[in-house]
Chain A
Amino acid sequence: MRRSARRGLAIATSITLLITATACSSDDGGSGRGPVPGVTDTEIVVGTHMPLTGPASAGYSKIAPATKAYFDYVNANGGVHGRKITYKVMDDGYNPANTQQVVRQLVLQDKVFAILNGLGTPTHSGVLDFLHSNRVPDLFVASGSRSWDQPDRYPNTFGFNTDYTVEGKILANHVKTTLPGKKVCFLGQNDDFGRDSLAGVEKVLGAEAVVARETYVTSNTNVAPQIGKFKAAGCEVVVLATVPGFTALSIGTAARLGFRPQWVVSNVGSDHPTLAKQLGDAAGLLEGMVGINYLPMQTDTANPWIQLFTKVNQEHNGNAPFDGNTVYGMAVGYLFVQVLLAAGKDLTREKLVEAVAKGGFQGPGLAPLRFSATDHSGYGGGRLTRVSGGVQAYFGAAYETDEGDGAVNEYTAPPVAPPANGVPTT
């Protein structure tokens, strides 16, 4: 026998072996499933991608367990239309290459009904086309990017967070009305987060009103050059579009340069417990910091939503530390259950998307959810927070606005209370 043929055979065999090995590990068969992927009479399978490991996982890794805990709570109360929700959480380490793999695994292998709350702009952007061509509902993406609001191109994708431009406008509106004439500076992350936020700030204040604009990259943890420039420019108000680590870093750096402006921080980077933990002994520097949020504050124990979520956290989440990420995760879970109910007992992917686009959902949020046939962005506003005496609390009215040139208006609709047993009924 010729060596060549033998080797060819050997290679072909090893490839076949490899393939059978991978094939064997997939034992699902797909039998017993109804015609709608991920939905049976007793179960709804939903998936997500989240960073559970790696540098970006801090804080975010708590969101999916919280959502899962809320689903477990709903399941314990009889589920939705008799179906229990199974939440498959996949770790992508905030690496877009991994997101590609895990989302395909969820859709093609695990046959999930929908993708819920996939986290991250660069990670989720990469799977939009795949999810669209497979007609998978892609609900409540966990990022404030405006990419999710493209109903024509991605009819099945919906956002959740208040987008960065909207919160930029609301923050700037606060600066304009309560700190008029102050020198305003801006530090943003060097991506769409920083860009969109700056656009919002400039829409309200005017481009010439921002005297210094700086950016940072997450791979460089020294922000002293940027903060030093603000100090030299005599900035009195600094707007930050930063992730928590860099909010803490900026505030800490400014303090050691003897620079104490008024900090005005976007939602992502303004969670007080996270910042205080990171600053440690220097947590006092956060005093007076203005932030923005659209969900109940975790410290507000009088709030019925917080009481509900605390109970769920104790019963189904191993009483994990309760923070803003926990509230966020449970709010996502609550909204998804509302949407499932609205889609009806005879559940299909089309009906789910129709139900979301119909809108009209009210839950723990302080701002309106904007879902409609032409608007796929999530919350359309927020309420300002201030740190005072080491406690972050809301002040003033809630505001809503759009990402265009629309005015920033007060949002006056009264908050709703959660249903008695904590599970939505309609």
Chain B
Amino acid sequence: MSATRVAAPAASRTAPEGPAGRWQVPTLVRHLGIAVAAALALVAVSYGLEPFRNFQLATVAAYLCATAGLTVLTGLNGQLSLGHGALMAVGAYTVALSQDAFAERGVTAGGTLVVSLLAAVLVTVAVGAVVGAAAARLRGPYLAGVTLAVAVVAPALTVTFAGVFNGEQGLAVPVAPPPEALGVYFPYERWQLWVAGSATLLCLVLLGNLVRSRYGRTFRAVRDDEVAARLAGIHVARTQVLAFVVSAAGAGLGGALLAVLAQSVSPGAFSLTLSLFLLMAVVIGGLGRLAGALWGAALLVALPDLTHTLTDLLTLSPAAAQRLEGNLPLAIFGITLIVVMIAAPGGVQGLLSRAVATLRARLPGRRS
């Protein structure tokens, strides 16, 4: 998958790549480089931040897997999914059941987590393949309808099969403490950030590579024009199922990480609302690029925090506070969504790209 890119034809040299074109580095190496840089940055900040911020950042990482997966599906392959919250639930419950099984057999080593996470991804991939196979036949609102139903079904099933999933109350996820080598007083939240961060970076490297590969190009070709893609010899249905599977893997890992962070799972956390918020997050972040998924994930975590900060700022009479509390931030978020979609349909990442392009154009004699 580390195919070197074909040199761009002269006519399309609008991107500021310049002479660097002949110095191409294999995609995988490039992405690994970025990942290592990001990992170093993450470790550095994990020491600089308080435990709660570490936890929030870890949650961003978990959501990032899911939003990146959704970006691949919706942004790059053009399939709409209102059911990614359900796929996250599949990952979360798999990791819970697997960790519980390990704990029951007295296996509490840290390594079990890796096995459980892998199991979560595999199970979600299987579920994603089934949903994807159905989805590949459907378009637009019909696809939305089926994925919406999936989003509603998943939490309901945990109640139907309460014997396995323990209904509304959910399951606990036993997770081993940080390795002793790190010291006795190593903050648990920092460890959580390391775990979630490394899993997410791995997931992003794989996704980033896929996007740049032949598969990524077929994804986009199918999104842009199905008929043309078919004429070019692309198997459209197979491509769509593949995109769904890849996306499900991301969602499954994200859900699994979320469960590990919370040390518990319950259906209420994976409601239809989550699915809709995921979609809002990736669109606001910017659908076209994986980088947009980062902004989306950050938004998902920052929102409840913002809620609290906002109401704290206002000193109101008890009666007024009871009405505004919670509602005011939601109203502001709603307006923001509408305004952003009207003013900047490319989302945050679109805005940033535009700003960067403008800056570059203003820097005379810039050398690569």
Query: Could you mark each residue 29-65 of chain A with 1 if its beta carbon is under 8 Å from any beta carbon of chain B, else 0?
Result: 0000000000000000000000011100100011001
Scan residues 113-131 of chain A and give those whose CB is less than 8 A from a CB of chain B: 121-123, 125-127, 129-130
B185: Cβ under 8 A from any A Cβ: no
Q: Are B326 and A93 touching (Cβ within 8 A)? A: yes
What CA separation (Å) do A102 and B326 show in the bound complex? Answer: 13
11 A-B residue pairs with CB within 8 Å: A8-B38, A11-B291, A14-B294, A15-B38, A22-B53, A22-B302, A23-B50, A97-B269, A126-B170, A126-B269, A190-B162
Q: Which residues of A contact B53 (CB under 8 A)?
A: 19, 22-23, 26
Q: Closest Cβ of chain B: how far from A8's Cβ, in Å?
A: 4
Contact of A8 with B34 at beta-carbon distance under 8 Å, contacts A129-B263, A191-B167 already known:
yes
What CA separation (Å) do A11 and B188 show in the bound complex? Answer: 26
What CA separation (Å) do A307 and B169 show in the bound complex? Answer: 38
Q: Are A126 and B273 touching (Cβ within 8 A)? A: no
Q: Are B266 and A318 touching (Cβ within 8 A)? A: no
Q: Are B326 and A11 touching (Cβ within 8 A)? A: no
Contact of A15 with B42 at beta-carbon distance under 8 Å, contacts A2-B23, A93-B326, A126-B262 already known:
yes
What CA separation (Å) do A126 and B308 show in the bound complex? Answer: 20
Q: Are A101 and B57 touching (Cβ within 8 A)? A: no
Tell me the dominant secondary structure on chain B's binding face. Answer: helix
Q: Which residues of A contact B51 (CB under 8 A)?
A: 108
* The stretch of B111-119, B120-128, B133-141, B314-322 that contacts the partner chain: B314-322
Q: Are B322 and A62 touching (Cβ within 8 A)? A: yes
A1: Cβ under 8 A from any B Cβ: yes
Q: Are B169 and A121 touching (Cβ within 8 A)? A: yes
Q: Which residues of A contact B79 (CB under 8 A)?
A: none
Q: Which residues of A contact B52 (CB under 8 A)?
A: 26, 104-105, 108-109
B189: Cβ under 8 A from any A Cβ: yes
Q: Closest Cβ of chain B: how far from A388's Cβ, in Å?
A: 32
Q: Closest Cβ of chain B: how far from A236's Cβ, in Å?
A: 30
B101: Cβ under 8 A from any A Cβ: no
Task: Please provide the 10 A-B residue pairs with the shortest distance between their CB atoms, ordered closest to farther.
Answer: A53-B326, A97-B269, A108-B52, A4-B30, A318-B319, A318-B318, A126-B264, A191-B168, A109-B52, A8-B34
Q: Which of A9, A100, A108 contacts B37 (CB 8 A)?
A: A9
Q: Are B156 and A219 touching (Cβ within 8 A)? A: yes
Q: Which residues of A contact B305 (CB under 8 A)?
A: 25, 101, 105
B152: Cβ under 8 A from any A Cβ: yes
Question: Chain A: interface residue count, which band?
Answer: 35 or more
Scan residues 86-117 of chain A and give those whose CB is less than 8 A from a CB of chain B: 90-98, 100-102, 104-105, 108-109
What CA separation (Å) do A286 and B159 show in the bound complex? Answer: 30
Q: Closest Cβ of chain B: how far from A207's Cβ, in Å?
A: 19
Q: Which residues of B contact A192 (CB under 8 A)?
A: 167-169
Question: Chain B: interface residue count, which band?
Answer: 35 or more
Q: Which residues of A contact B258 (CB under 8 A)?
A: 97
Q: Are B167 and A65 touching (Cβ within 8 A)? A: no
Q: Which of B55, B266, B318 contacts A108 (CB 8 A)?
A: B55
Q: Kindly report which residue of chain B lies nearest to residue A189, judged by CB atoms.
A: B168
Contact of A97 with B262 at beta-carbon distance under 8 Å, contacts A9-B37, A11-B38 already known:
yes
Q: Kindly report which residue of chain A lies nearest to residue B267, judged by CB atoms.
A: A122
Q: Which of B56, B291, B298, B326 contacts A101 (CB 8 A)?
A: B56
State the A residues within 8 Å of B (CB).
1-5, 7-9, 11-12, 14-16, 18-19, 22-23, 25-26, 52-54, 57, 61-62, 65, 68-69, 90-98, 100-102, 104-105, 108-109, 121-123, 125-127, 129-130, 133, 145, 147, 190-192, 217, 219, 316-320
B182: Cβ under 8 A from any A Cβ: no
B355: Cβ under 8 A from any A Cβ: no
B48: Cβ under 8 A from any A Cβ: yes
Q: Closest Cβ of chain B: how far from A116's Cβ, in Å?
A: 17
Q: Are B168 and A11 touching (Cβ within 8 A)? A: no
Contact of A97 with B274 at beta-carbon distance under 8 Å, contacts A2-B25, A147-B169, A190-B159 already known:
yes
Q: Which residues of A contact B301 (CB under 8 A)?
A: 101
Scan residues 22-80 of chain B and give those whose CB is less than 8 A from a CB of chain A: 23, 25, 29-30, 33-34, 37-38, 40-42, 45, 48-53, 55-57, 59
Q: Closest Cβ of chain B: how far from A62's Cβ, in Å?
A: 7
Q: Closest Cβ of chain A: how far from B312's Cβ, in Å?
A: 9
B98: Cβ under 8 A from any A Cβ: no
Q: Closest Cβ of chain A: how far from B85's Cβ, in Å?
A: 10
Known: A22-B53, A53-B327, A96-B262. 4 other contacts (CB 8 A): A11-B38, A22-B57, A57-B326, A109-B50
Q: Which of A100, A316, A317 has the most CB of B within 10 A?
A: A100
